[in-house]
Structure 1
């Protein structure tokens, strides 16, 4: 009974302080007799300035520090950011809170999510803004280890899950936030954040049962650590394996004898990685094999065969416990960072334990999938916050599991856009008409981020368009024959995408007529029309909103038009024709 009273008192004290408008403070060094604050206790809070970009709602923000627990049960202190929309909540009950679990940011202290939100450089801002636009509050943890002189315990699952849960508990205590501890709460994370979300869901019943947890969203999850490590090694995501070794060694120094396992090249690589953020290390260590950095050239399998090392990796695996709240899990079918099959296996483990799982597979690779899911995530969370039940989700789905379409690893980093939807149209200057792309139009491309090269093509079905030529109504059957798409593409160290290229297409007028009577034509532009494709913006643009290219172009004169040639050429040819093309990813499929 006394222990229960102590626990309740430790949890109630910060809430009482918050209610009184007093920011909680950490215990002082001279207060040795005072017990360490309970996990989830707000230690400090201060108003913060954040840069969320154009179109983001106005928010009130606080930088916080709070008490949490590491994977070994030891107390630690974690920092984070609380964001509350300035618009009053009118939903009838308390404003919901989403604990956003960040993906990989890098090991340097400047890479911490709170630092990047303040600087306006956080590559996950688009997902956070999507939540804020729903007028929900958001808390973003930094995870453990971003303090001065510390090393982030990257991929230490239990520590990360507890940091996420404690961030929500601490957010409710921020003076002036207007948040209520009774509010419905959800967790969303992708990649490292998906791992963290899974751990948070599994731990919540025993670790943070006071939370009113309505749902858990976990995307791109490394549910099987050994399988994920083998997939990363010597491939596109090799930098994540390097950082994972650093993070787990920091969390389990007695089980991963780091100094004994690495060679001089390994020590140099680790020192370098500790001073870089995610997109810097991504390209610096692409396709590296871990044996380059190990003493005596030990392979990955030899390292994992070391008893204590294998034990640590096994402890990070997910699916060992039921998640009481509904789960939305998703993965990219072309994911080149984390294998699809182990994500499907994780879904099955959760289902076998009675967790209600909705499982979607998106058509894209790892980075694009992170942002394509946002509209479906917010819709799914809206249903959870509205109290709509998810009973069994996709656990009873009998469809055969999808096979990975990821590009083979070990070579260039190629992001493939396979039959993405092409929307938009042409603004014909002389005719004063707008011609919309027909249903079924697609854009396919390989974007080689290593060689910085873009190669692709358009596919536009022939379509019927009503036009007025020399004042007369004409039905024209129009086609766009792709002559190739080429250009340059790059992803910089800040996660900004740049595309500069051109799409060439011959415009064809297949037939023309009126009232159902069409005269076949072989009419086409004498040369391909050139559409400039220029885009610069965050990598999040690969999300559901798609990439938009716009500009003006000249239509060459028409040829092989027969008797209609002069009139059609006069109507179509010339400069100043506008175009807007938006390339949008296909919808996901449930399994």
Structure 2
């Protein structure tokens, strides 16, 4: 066997790890950070397991996790050169309820950052990975879940961020590596799928295009790709000087690592650019996101060359467009999904990717969410997992290729200013527990909140909308009561997103409570009661940004209803409704997706 050819950037080897060993042998790796030091190895095939170890991962309480492993395995970069990749293997504690072998899902993460501490395997151990919510949901289904770190998180290396084929190779080879872990119970012949969003969406789509040639032995039944950067020049132009400018800088760093001769970043970068690159390499997503927001690429280049000038250099243009998606590939069902308010990756180029796939085959499903980039990542999870269940069950996918629906249009906030997340008529699943009556009143289903959350200046302003509704209340006898919750002024709050991806909201809104009628459904009696002072509802929350998606943000607490003015029934209604200790529970969730 020939010696494994390591790139120069991965040659920070530990002298204690230089003993060669056979590729197929199941070798337990060292503890601690020594696991990430690349040993001198002999391997023969892509996906060869170099070593593994049992891992302690923090997915939060109640995760359906039986066992976890770290793996190091052989893969291939975008130029066909052999490399070494690490990752995490998660085994569900739930039984697979379908027929046949437990399915295996390669979950391709989105942007995490270039520092080694940003690697998914390390963040999963620390309990700081922002995509944990989706991993938990996949484990709940009973899948085995594989999470590649992609190339570059071994000691001394820099990730080849956004190099599409390299990422896809890593996501495919981890199937092979995981199947070699002793007693892990992962079958290389089991049905498999790939799911990813943003950078992970790019990875998943590339998997669909190369899997037949690169890993023909896999039973790949589906590819779910969301928030996908499919046309790199278009996406780069969208990011340049905008709220997502940090991702463009990261992409230049990652692609120059993969193609150093064609994108000579040391020659292109000015002194300011070199300082920015050195700083960027030491940060994770929610650190650099704000530090480089709205910066133009020209601020980092010699002679202040902007993106358009750089793309006129043939070698740079070639390597950027090499990442574009839509070419020939596997005839495997594909789910594409995107948010209309995506402020980082424009939805128009996602529609063009759908059209390109539909020209080739008709197994393309497309879903649209009324949300921005990060919210769509989590909001889509239940729909994606249902789609994956159907693929593992062998069902035919819903076909969006012949849909007569109009293509969705972007309603993203304009770039170049503050980072604003707009909530447009988000659903408020709300209930009030009346203390004296000891009864719960549910607000109508079409109760909504519309708001702008300005992450830059840490403010949130919005409006509560509650349609008039009826509730059944036992007031001596069971009565049908017509109620109104009348907002007073705007929702006012401060909102912060920490550098660990933790969202905090502190604010309040006020509303008057009105009793319009009380009686029987066939004989309503008008009362025109209203509280003399509005009630205050505190809206306080702290938790992972993932809650902005499908799980919903929950505001809960107690308020006081002031006395009511009800004419001759004032004394009775005040004794039953007014006073402190009125409990409320509001769950804020995004609107449902549209389907093409």
TM-score (norm 1): 0.93
Cα separation, 2, equivalents of 1:209 and 1:203: 9
Greater Cα shift, 333-342 or 82-91? 82-91
Tell me the distance in 2 between the aligned counterparts of 1:355 and 1:140: 29
- Of 451, 458, 462, 2:468 maps to 462
For residue 415 of structure 1, give the secondary structure of its aligned residue in structure 2: strand
Task: Spell out, residue by residue over 1:86-116, the C-alpha distance to the aligned partner (whole angstroms, 9 max, x if none).
Answer: 3455644211100010100001000000000
Distance in 2 (CA, whole Å) between partners of 1:285 and 1:172 is: 41
Distance 1:515 1:291, change over 3 A: closer
Q: Give the structure 2 partner of residue 320 of structure 1.
A: 327
Structure 2 CA distance for aligned equivalents of residues 458 and 330 of structure 1: 29
Deviations 1:480-517 (A, max 9, x none): 11222111111111111111111211111122233523
Displacement of 1:456: 1.0
Contact 1:23 1:174 in 2 (8 A): no
Does residue 60 (structure 1) correspond to residue 67 (structure 2)? The answer is yes
Q: Would you say the 8 A contact 1:322–1:355 is kept in 2?
A: no
- Structure 1 residues 421 and 28 mapped into 2: Cα distance closer, same or farther (>3 Å)? closer
Q: Which residue of 2 aligns with 1:437?
A: 443
Q: Does structure 2 retain, via aligned residues, the 8 Å contact 1:323–1:350? A: no
Residues 87 and 477 of structure 1: CA distance in aligned 2, closer, same or farther (over 3 Å): closer
- Structure 1 position 573 matched with structure 2 position 583: no
Question: How far apart, CA to CA, are the structure 1 residues paired with 2:59 and 2:192?
Answer: 22
**2:299 aligned with 1:292:** yes
CA contact (8 A) 2:162 2:254 kept: yes
Q: What runs of 5+ residues in structure 2 fail to find an aligned partner?
A: 1-20, 31-36
Could you tell me which of 126, 138, 162 is aligned with 2:133?
A: 126
Q: Where does residue 395 of structure 1 map in the other structure?
A: 401
Provide the C-alpha distance between the structure 1 equivalents of 2:515 and 2:97, rounded to a whole number of angstroms: 55
**Counterpart of 1:389 in 2: which secondary structure?**
coil
CA distance in 2, matches of 1:90, 1:565: 58
Secondary structure of the residue aligned to 1:142 is: strand
8 A Cα contact 1:504 1:529, kept in partner: yes
Deviation at 1:522, TM superposition (A): 3.1
* Residue 140 (structure 1) aligned with residue 147 (structure 2): yes
Number of residue-to-residue matches in the alignment: 569
Contact 2:97/2:142 (<8 A) preserved: no
The residue correspondences of 1:341-380 to structure 2 (distance < 5 A) are 341-380=348-387
SS at match of 2:151: coil
**What are the equivalent positions in structure 2 for 1:225-374 lying under 5 Å apart?**
225-374=232-381
Contact 2:27 2:51 (8 Å CA) reproduced: no
Aligned-pair CA distance for 1:156: 0.5
1:216 Cα deviation after fit:
0.3
Partner of residue 426, structure 1: 432
| 1:41 aligned partner | 48
For the 8 Å contact 2:47–2:176, the answer to whether it is kept is: yes
Distance 1:266 1:322 in 2: 37
Deviations 1:161-197 (A, max 9, x none): 1111111111111112011111000000000000000
2:164 matched to 1:164? no
Q: 2:78 is matched with which residue: 71, 80, 84?
A: 71
Deviations 1:552-573 (A, max 9, x none): 11101113x2222221122211
Structure 2 residue 524 is matched with structure 1 residue 518: yes
Aligned-pair Cα RMSD in Å = 1.9
Aligned with residue 120 of structure 2, among 105, 113, 117: 113
Q: Which region of structure 1 is more displaced relative to structure 2, 547-556 or 505-514?
A: 505-514
Residue 585 of structure 1 pairs with residue 585 of structure 2: no
Name the SS for the 2:241 alignment partner: coil
Q: Distance in 2 between the 1:170 and 1:413 partners?
A: 40
Checking the alignment, whether the CA contact within 8 Å between 1:17 and 1:23 is kept in structure 2 is no
1:84 aligns with 2:91: yes
Which deviates more from structure 2 when the two are superposed, residues 412-421 or residues 511-520? 511-520
Alignment-derived partner of residue 479 in structure 1? 484
- Name the structure 2 match of 1:7: none
